Amino acid sequence: MAGLLAAQDKPAKAPPFGSVELPGTDALYQQLLSSNVEGIGKFYMGRQISHVMGHQGATWLERPEREREENTSEMIKCLKLKAGDQVADIGVGTGYIARRMAKVIGVKGTVFGVDIQPEMLALLEKNMKKAGLYNVKGHLGTISDPKLRENSLDFVIMVDVYHEFSHPYEMMHGIVKALKPGGRVAFVEYRGEDPKVPIKRLHKMTEVQVKKEASLFPLKHVETYKKLPWQHVIFFRKLAK
């Protein structure tokens, strides 16, 4: 398998940013395997895409030990959010991270909680009402488009979800379009460099791989925050035209 990938994983030149049709993106993907225990058999820039965690796994997102395992309080601090920020949480799930961000950005800010599963959005709405938070808005996307308004967001976060995108190029195209010039995007991923992180291999990503995949877009790497127990937070800023 390693030899096969070496021969095929060099992507074709990406289409110009902003093109509607996204021509030629198939060249970025290789379907080399059938779906298996590890992943879906589809490779993107040399990385096999993992299976999606469905809404059936929602309780795992809200597990009591999550704060201890991931230090989510520290994660929220490192995001450096400001009051009034317009934020998108891609793969929002039950809203565990969204509701923590919502408290930081305040009533003048908004968290657009994007998910492709209506069941997750129903759980999100229920949890936000229970928490008394009204600045988190559920937002139904698709597997290839987050359906966000162009140039509208200050910050986008993806917490342990980017590696599950079946169409990562198209999704990132939509995310970057939605960012304001100078807006930031953060990839929160379990550290693929660290074999001691007790997460399945395809549900982890290395910093090198994240940077490689982000390089197709008008994004500049600005920081990688490495002080969390299991994850790194890899920040990029959208370049002004």
Q: What is the tens place of the pLDDT at every residue in 119-132?
A: 999 999 999 999 99
Q: Say if residues 221 and 236 touch (Cβ distance below 8 Å).
A: yes
Domain membership of residue 193 (yes or no) is yes
Residue 26 has what pLDDT? 60
Q: Say if residues 222 and 187 touch (Cβ distance below 8 Å).
A: no
> Does the pLDDT value for residue 83 go beyond 80?
yes
162 or 55: which carries more pLDDT confidence?
162
Record the pTM.
Answer: 0.88
Residue 53 has what pLDDT? 79
Residue 127: give the domain boundaries.
Answer: 57-238
Number of domains in the chain: 1
Domain membership of residue 222 (yes or no) is yes
Phi/psi at 133 (5° precision): -110, 130
Closest by alpha carbon to 239, among 27, 14, 18, 15? 18
Q: Say if residues 227 and 72 touch (Cβ distance below 8 Å).
A: no
Task: Provide the CATH number for the domain around residue 200.
Answer: 3.40.50.150
Domain membership of residue 5 (yes or no) is no
Domain membership of residue 21 (yes or no) is no
202 or 16: which carries more pLDDT confidence?
202
Domain membership of residue 42 (yes or no) is no
**Torsion of the alpha carbons at 204, 214, 207 and 179, rounded to the nearest 10:** -90
Residue 106 has what pLDDT? 98
Residue 58 has what pLDDT? 80
Domain membership of residue 85 (yes or no) is yes
Question: Given the structure tokens 């998910």, which residue do they identify?
Answer: 115
Domain membership of residue 31 (yes or no) is no
Q: What is the tens place of the pLDDT at every residue in 45-77?
A: 999 999 987 777 788 888 999 999 999 999 999
Domain membership of residue 38 (yes or no) is no
